[in-house]
Amino acid sequence: MEDLRDKYEVVIGLEVHAQLKTKSKIFAPDGCEFGKEPNSETSPITLGMPGVLPVLNKEAVNMGILTGLALNCEIPERCKFDRKQYFYPDLPKGYQISQYDEPICVNGYLNVKGKKIGITRAHLEEDAGKLVHAGADGLAGSSYSLVDLNRAGTPLLEIVSEPDMRSSEEARNYMEELRNIVRYIGVCDGNLEEGSMRCDANISIMPKGSKEFGTRAEIKNVNSFSALQRAIEYEIDRQIEIVEEGGKVVQETRLWDDNARETKSMRGKEDAHDYRYFPEPDLMPLKISREWVEEIRAKMPELPQAKRERYMSLGLSEYDASVIVEQMGLALFFDEVLKLGASPKIAVNFIMGEIAAYLKENKLEINETKLTPENLVELISLIEKNTISNNIGKQIIVDMMKDGSKASEIVEKRGLSQISDTGAIKEIAQKVCDANPAQVTAYKNGKVQLLGFFVGQVMKETKGRANPKAVNEILKEILG
């Protein structure tokens, strides 16, 4: 299949649904907290009862505008809502209030690892509910389905990219950066597992050099970055196989089965006219003044790309900067450490080393430990003042994360202050040399790499407390 792939170019566009972090639904006062008892977060408006009217949630609009600005979109002075007609058991009204030809955000782009990916539009809409398939063996052999309408009416922002991606890796990078952005600006928690961020991938192939896109298939509701890549890779191979055998790719909606590692046909793909869009008669078109837009722009926090670039200007590698930015809690913690005046180099060594290892091993976020920025800064200060060695710092940082101890308290309690007294170090170094005459002779005969052995022995004798620089200088003096 790899040889056949060389004949084709892949075209990928993503439609990402981000659930907005409002306290109530987009057109109703009921809450939208995840994990509540089924059908407990509903109201007559959500249920589409006769005579009810929708009222637009202003905070959802604010979040839509903020996201659009973060994605370099234009915010039109007017947008409107439309009815999207379709029947599904978890859509109580029989239609969805969405935006069609006049969305809230248009003509944006996102720079992802040096590539500019266009964003056609971002529009506000309400979510549907959820079907819970039960009985027998679950979805595959379920004997009945239950409807949970808690999610119905939850505000969504659907972000539609241009078909500018050419590989599953590019699609994953775009999705990851988009999640970073919505999390940093506080409009969505980006939790793919809970469904608060969902992705539909549109994939087609065309012969290399062609200007005409092939027929696309849509893969619905992929819920992890790795699953997105796997689904795209499978779909590329499936379409190539169809074309190579003389068939035609059908425009359809498919589901990704991550257990079977394959896409499965769900239904024929609808076009816009199939939904019979028309303006929502119960909502007036929304006018968005330039003052409103600028008021929201003024609240824009530092975006991930700017944060990465700032970290790199402080001497961090591109890799370290990217890893820290990817974990928002870690980045905010790091920023507090920097504000307190700590050395970026020493701080990032701890964050990418002992702290990251501890968090990974215990499956924790930095804010779930008891380490504070102030305590880490104090630890770094003790190292810079040569009160303790860097190795001692690495030994005590885990205790600081576990119980919130201050570095100075641990050092004093355990007697870990660094030995900088050259007389005391010289005495220990001489003792080590006297105990290892064969290694001394080998060193003097040119095997200078043995210096590391002697340093290690001295550090062992002092339990890591000796000043490493002083140890090196004194050993060189003794060994000649």
Average pLDDT per run of 10 along the chain, which is 480 residues long? 80 96 96 90 92 96 98 98 90 93 97 95 95 66 83 96 96 96 96 88 92 90 89 93 90 88 76 81 97 97 96 94 93 96 93 93 93 95 85 89 90 73 75 80 77 79 74 77
- Rounded Cα gap, residues 26 and 283, in angstroms: 12
Strand ranges across the sheet with 278-279: 95-98, 82-85, 278-279
Q: Where are the alpha helices (DSSP H) in 35-116?
A: 44-47, 58-70
Report pLDDT for 159: 98
Q: Which amino acid is located at 42 in the chain? A: T
Instruction: Identify the pLDDT of residue 419.
Output: 67
Give the pLDDT confidence score for residue 402 in this predicted structure.
92
Contact 93, 100 (CB under 8 A): no
Do the bridges between strand 217-222 and strand 252-257 make them parallel or antiparallel, or are there none, so unpaired? Answer: parallel
User: Which pLDDT score is estimated for 477?
Assistant: 79
Q: Is the dihedral of CA 242, 244, 248, 254 positive or negative?
A: positive
Q: Which whole-number Å values give the CA distances from 349 to 313, 321, 352, 382, in the listed order?
A: 16, 12, 5, 15
CA dist list (Å): 318 to 123, 246, 309, 348, 364:
33, 46, 8, 12, 24
pLDDT at 450: 76
3-state helix, strand, coil in the chain (%, to 5): 45, 20, 35
Query: How far, rounded to the nearest angstrom, does the alpha carbon of residue 313 sit from its chain's CA centroid?
Result: 22
d(CA 32, CA 148): 12
Instruction: Annotate 356-398 with DSSP letters as a single string.
Output: HHHHHHHT--GGGSS--HHHHHHHHHHHHTTSS-HHHHHHHHH
- pTM of this prediction? 0.84
Largest CA distance in the chain: 98
The dihedral formed by the CA atoms of 109, 111, 116 and 120, expressed in degrees to the nearest 10: -20
Exposure letters 210-240 (e unless 16+ CB within 10 A, then b): eeeebbbbbbbebbebebbbbbbbbbbebbb
Closest to 254 (Cα-Cα) out of 219, 204, 203, 202? 219
Helix 390-403 to helix 407-414 angle (10° resolution) is: 110
- Give the pLDDT confidence score for residue 271 in this predicted structure: 62
Q: Which pLDDT value is given to residue 420?
A: 65
Q: Which residues contact 101 (CB under 8 A, 6 or more apart)?
A: 82, 277
DSSP codes, 167-194: SHHHHHHHHHHHHHHHHHTTS----TTT
Task: Determine the 3-state secondary structure of 283 from DSSP.
Answer: coil
Name 156's bridge partners: 19, 125
pLDDT computed for residue 465 by the predictor: 72
